[in-house]
A and B are shown apart, each in its own frame.
Chain A
């Protein structure tokens, strides 16, 4: 049946040439944009809300997206959720904004702090998302301290957070305790890190070293890491499922929630020990924001409040294997999760102000030295 539709559309398009692909520019695409935020456009409990996010929110193993859809549509029967996950992620929307092309999505789920800096570097201060009015959200004050994401334009609210840490095999190496430990002969040729150009945990680990050694000292530290044989692979999945799981090396930059997976897969936990360097983990909070040109911002607010509810926080945390964004009393997690997800004694993050205008150069300088042929 589908196949016939396909063949039909193919012939149709051949006959009509590309004429069918011509359309009038939609002049009023930013329709209600001018209206005051005091009067949020749209109906807060009905209509269609299109959420943009990344692949694993909707397509991975046991993702959060389908649960959110069912629960939200059950709570608000007149509302419909739609999801989209463009390949280039947030860049897709930055480009749409630059080209003033039509924006189908209302809300973005999964923006982190460096995304905000990137948006502003590309589009100017406070671009792409609306400034949020936290007073409209009943549950906004449940968000834990330290997860405010530091955006001067208050465009995003955290909905979960992960911590970058080291994962190591205790049968091969001892627990590293400081960054300097990693330069020790005991950890020679032991560590796998990821390319900060292409990988989120890779970039987070790089930023963590910048936090530790400053922008004047981090390159020197990395030279020393190179000396001690750090291995930098492309992405978290390549390096984890390849080099680490094939026992190529005993230590990898990964997430502090690693044991949640490892125990679910029946793996030996001795290969999945968590090390927090300097007693820290690098926090990577994920935020949600409403697009400036959203067609139904009122419903987007309703959804954000829903995401911060007890049940939603627990489901997102467990399915995404990240920590909830709200304080402990507002969420009930499975005992299993509590047992295997480790929270660092201290969380560090390089803030928006520092990232703005610097991030690209930091990563570029770092990558050029690693790739200096």
Chain B
């Protein structure tokens, strides 16, 4: 056979094995960049001076500081009678009473149902779960109305707002904390507005730091909920709604019976991701709430700082078990949801304010109220950062931006320059998108329609979400940056830009998987089968049949991948240390020093550069949706 014949067969061979090759590449990346570093850390939890032991787990699980009232149960798992007695005693001691409380500052008395419990020591894990639960509820409460508005109404700027929903995701914690203080603090925006009508000032953050932390978590996560849900909403099959309506269902009935079931997987995805993220929250709780709101992650960080890797690893393993357990439970639910075949024909959107009369209808007024709330929660903190970057103690100034300009023009090689930071962020973001989207799709394809085994694999594939950023960072440092000794005096080291992109892709692909899988699982398998029976390779069927139908999920996932990469901090800072591959968030932290101005200016640059990229990504990506 001629050489030409060989060459001609290469593309065909590649196409036939494309999926296998992509799966192998994904596996290699995961092995080196995820499982190896995580294993390096987790092994520490059971190693004590070279021998394996579970004593660290026993120590943590029997310490009321970590697990609260459960410590007694773990200490004596067989003493069931004693534990039941304690439980009964606790239940008996609960009392319910009605009291009258006054709203602070307004003097309006309202009846309040108060439940007195003898109190349960929640422990660090219990409190972490409690605040994560509240944060999830708040994120749903703020995110779902946004999804509703974006999916059902047409108005000026809708697409831009939809693109920008992902923006909070990329902001470093310090910027968000400063923005929140500037908004809700005693000298902040809200109090300035209240001052105009003669109220305040109120120390909102002091009054209830937990509430403010939860709002800050909603600031980060409600956009995520909204984004995931809008993507699903826009792929609701409008024909099934029309069918229901023609069969006599009311609009409300059609929504609850036809639309909502198609949205549930997306809503729960948003809730799950929010819970896991806020379970592993760290900088925000401490910055706004202080040590009294410390979470498990705070303690992991502290243990790492004190070089007590065994306790850090033990806490991390427990944290991961909880997150993965939740993920597994969710995935079982998700796979049970398939069967609704849907074509992506999005429901038509109604104009938001067609006329003044409609604009005053209750539903539109509710939208307006929600809009005002969203402005307070999302726009004020961001605007405060921008204002902070152009002011100092004595008024408006551009000197913080001049700092950036000077640094760019005169900075030395070992310093962090703004332009390389912007360029690195964008290049890494695009590279992450290119790597993470195929990875995410491959994992989706491999795990959908494979039953329970697929669910287990799928849950394991979610590991990057379930492992804390701090632990992942330690693993990368000890495993890949310091290197692992191999037999024969060799050492495996992975650092530099390739490692950064790979680490970003590992952090990002679960978002692609989670936005693609539910759509993929809901496709009619007959479509793929008929394509295959007509001679298409598995890859061909995926490319030509399945992907176009789940395009909205892919675009949503791609935007997430880009956002994760732009906002990623803990592994970037470790892998970029000593090289010129730092990113915008890293630059923000490095500029902080003992003056906030330059860091705020860099943060504002981060804000505008990423906002512009999201709008571009959505516009470009939008062409593939439909």
List residues of A whose CB falls within 8 A of some B CB: 2-3, 6, 9-10, 13, 17-18, 21-25, 27, 55-56, 58-61, 63, 65-66, 69, 82-88, 91-92, 94-96, 99, 101, 104, 118, 121-122, 189, 195, 197-198, 231-235, 237-239, 241-243, 245-249, 261-262, 265-268, 321, 360, 363-364, 367-368, 370-373
Among B98-106, B183-191, B225-233, B510-518, the stretch that binds chain A is B183-191
Query: Is A61 touching B595 in the complex (CB atoms < 8 A)?
Result: yes
Q: A60-B594, A82-B414 are in contact. Are A238 and B287 (CB under 8 A)?
A: yes
B206/A2 in contact, CB under 8 A: no
Structural contact, B414 and A83, CB atoms closer than 8 A: yes
Residues from chain A with a CB closer than 8 A to the CB of B415 are: 58-59, 63, 65-66
Once bound together, how far apart are the Cα atoms of A82 and B477, in whole Å?
22
Could you list 25 examples of A-B contacts with CB < 8 Å?
A: A10-B431, A10-B501, A21-B492, A23-B490, A25-B485, A25-B489, A25-B491, A56-B593, A60-B594, A65-B415, A88-B477, A88-B574, A94-B307, A101-B483, A232-B290, A233-B287, A235-B174, A241-B178, A243-B185, A246-B188, A248-B187, A261-B595, A364-B306, A368-B65, A372-B65
> With a CB–CB cut-off of 8 A, which chain A residues contact B574?
87-88
Interface pairs A-B: 4 shortest CB-CB: A60-B593, A266-B394, A246-B185, A234-B286
Give the complex CA separation of A235 and B595 in angstroms: 14
Which residues of chain B are within 8 angstroms of A360 by Cβ–Cβ distance?
A: 306, 308
Q: A22-B491, A23-B490, A118-B307 are in contact. Are A247 and B290 (CB under 8 A)?
A: no
A58 to B417 Cα, complex, angstroms: 12
Residues of A within 8 A of B206 (CB): 189, 231, 248-249
Q: Is B493 an interface residue (CB 8 A)?
A: yes
Q: Across the interface, do B490 and A18 meet the contact criterion of CB distance under 8 Å?
A: no
Is there an interface contact between B496 and A9, defined as CB atoms closer than 8 Å?
A: yes
- Using CB atoms, name the residue of chain A closest to B120: A373
> A104 CA to B181 CA in the complex, in Å?
41
Chain A residue nearest to B412 in the complex (CB):
A66
Other A-B contacts than A22-B492, A24-B489, A25-B485, 6 sampled, CB-CB below 8 A, are A9-B498, A23-B493, A58-B414, A91-B304, A95-B482, A242-B180
Chain B positions within 8 Å of A368 at CB level: 65
* In the complex, B277 has a CB within 8 A of chain A: no
- Write the B124-135 contact mask toward A (1 if CB under 8 angstroms, else 0): 101100000000
List which B418-467 residues lie within 8 A (CB) of chain A.
Answer: 420, 423, 427, 431
A238 and B286 in contact, given A6-B497, A189-B206 (Cβ under 8 angstroms): yes
Whether A373 lies near B122 (C-beta < 8 A) is: yes
Give the contacting residue for B127; candidates A13, A248, A373; CB below 8 A: A373
B392 → chain A closest CB, angstroms = 5
Answer yes or no: B613 CB below 8 A from chain A CBs. no
- Please measure, in the bound complex, the distance between the C-alpha atom of A239 and the C-alpha atom of B291, giving whole angstroms: 12
Whether the Cβ atoms of B286 and A198 lie closer than 8 Å is yes
Which A residues touch B292, using CB under 8 A?
Answer: 232, 370-371
A92 to B482 alpha-carbon distance, docked (Å): 10
B177 close to chain A: CB less than 8 A? yes
Contact with A along B507-536 (1 / 0, CB 8 A): 000000000000000000000000000000
Is A84 touching B491 in the complex (CB atoms < 8 A)?
no
* Chain A residues closer than 8 Å to B272, beta-carbon distance: none
- Cβ contacts under 8 Å, A83 to chain B: 414
B123 interface hit (Cβ, 8 Å)? yes
B287 pairs with A234, CB closer than 8 A? yes
Q: Nearest Cβ distance between residue B575 and chain A, in whole angstroms? A: 10
Could you say which of A85, A243, A265 contacts B394, with CB atoms under 8 Å apart? A265
Q: Are B590 and A13 in contact (CB under 8 A)?
A: no
Q: What residue in chain A is nearest B400 (Cβ atoms)?
A: A61
Alpha-carbon gap, A22 to B283, bound state (A): 36
Q: Is the CB of A373 within 8 A of B121?
A: yes
Q: Which residues of B contact A364 (CB under 8 A)?
A: 302, 306
For residue B393, CB closer than 8 A to chain A, the reply is: yes
Return the chain A residue nearest B417 by Cβ: A59
B residues within 8 A CB of A372?
Answer: 65
Give the contacting residue for A59; candidates B185, B205, B416, B497; CB below 8 A: B416
How far in angstroms is the closest Cβ of chain A from B200? 12
**Contact indicator A267/B205 (Cβ below 8 Å):** no
CB distance from B492 to the nearest CB of A (A): 6
Interface membership of chain B positions 32-58, coded 1 if the CB is closer than 8 angstroms to chain A and 0 otherwise: 100000000000000000000000000
A122 x B394 contact (CB < 8 A): no
> Is the beta-carbon distance between A23 and B491 smaller than 8 angstroms?
yes
Contact of A246 (CB < 8 Å), options: B187, B306, B494: B187
Q: Are B591 and A59 in contact (CB under 8 A)?
A: yes
B477's partner among A58, A95, A245 (CB-CB below 8 A) is A95
Of the residues B68, B290, B594, contact of A233 by C-beta under 8 Å? B290
Residues of A within 8 A of B414 (CB): 58, 65, 69, 82-84
Contacts of A239 in B (CB 8 A): 287
The distance from the CB of B403 to the nearest CB of chain A, in whole angstroms, is 7
* Complex CA distance for A347 and B182, rounded to whole angstroms: 35
Of the candidates B188, B304, B589, B591, which one forms a contact with A61 in the assembled complex, judged by CB atoms under 8 Å apart?
A: B591
Chain B residue with Cβ nearest A87: B573
Complex formed: what's the CA distance from A86 to B28 in Å?
Answer: 28
Of B68, B491, B589, the contact of A24 (CB 8 Å cutoff)? B491
Chain A CB within 8 A of B294 CB: yes
Other-chain contact of A2, B182, B393, B423, B482 (Cβ < 8 Å):
B423
Complex: A86 Cα to B477 Cα, angstroms: 11
Query: Which residues of chain A are near B195, meaning CB under 8 Å?
Result: none
* Contact present for A3 and B427 (CB under 8 Å): yes
B597 within 8 A of A: yes
B577 at interface by CB-CB < 8 Å: yes
* A370/B291 in contact, CB under 8 A: yes
Q: Are A262 and B124 in contact (CB under 8 A)?
A: no
Give, as a whole number of angstroms, the nearest-CB distance from B478 to chain A.
Answer: 7
Closest Cβ–Cβ distance, residue B296 to chain A (whole Å)? 11
A contact residues around B483 at 8 Å (CB): 23, 101
In the complex, whether B301 has a CB less than 8 A from a CB of chain A is yes
Q: Are A248 and B185 in contact (CB under 8 A)?
A: yes
Q: Say yes or no for B208: interface residue by CB 8 A criterion.
A: no
Contacts of A198 in B (CB 8 A): 286, 301-302, 305
Whether B87 is near chain A, meaning CB under 8 Å from some CB there, is: no
The answer to whether A265 and B393 have CB atoms under 8 Å apart is: yes
Residue of A nearest to B126 (CB): A373
For residue B537, CB closer than 8 A to chain A, the reply is: no
Q: A24 touching B490 by the CB < 8 A rule? A: yes
Partner of A195, one of B286, B395, B486, B577: B286
Query: How far is the CB of B231 from the nearest CB of chain A, in Å?
Result: 29
Question: Within 8 Å of chain A (Cβ to Cβ): is B5?
Answer: no
B379 close to A (CB within 8 Å): no
Structural contact, B290 and A18, CB atoms closer than 8 A: no
Contacts of A265 in B (CB 8 A): 392-394, 595
B553 within 8 A of A: no
Assess whether B578 is interfacial by the CB under 8 Å rule: yes
Residues of A within 8 A of B578 (CB): 84, 86, 104
A18 to B177, CA, bound (A): 40
Q: Does B557 contact A (CB under 8 A)?
A: no
* Known contacts A95-B477, A248-B203; is-contact A56 B305 (Cβ 8 Å): no
Give the residue of A9, A23, A101, A262 whose beta carbon is less than 8 angstroms from that of B393. Answer: A262
**Binary contact readout B283-321 vs A (1 if CB under 8 angstroms, 0 otherwise):** 100111011101000100110111110000000000000
Shortest C-beta distance, B126 to chain A (Å), equals: 7
Give every chain A residue within 8 A of B495 (Cβ-Cβ).
21
| Interface pair B286/A91, CB less than 8 Å apart | no
Interface flag for B592 (CB, 8 Å): yes
Given A10-B431, A195-B291, A61 contacting B403 (CB threshold 8 A): yes
Shortest Cβ distance from residue A15 to the other chain B in the assembled complex, whole angstroms = 12
| B181→A246 contact, CB < 8 A | yes
Closest to A24 in B: B489
Name the A residues within 8 Å of B223 (CB-CB): none
Query: Which single residue of chain A is at the shortest CB-CB distance from B32?
Result: A18
Residues of A within 8 A of B585 (CB): none
B598 close to chain A: CB less than 8 A: yes
B596 touches A (CB below 8 Å): yes
A96 and B482 form a contact (CB under 8 A): yes
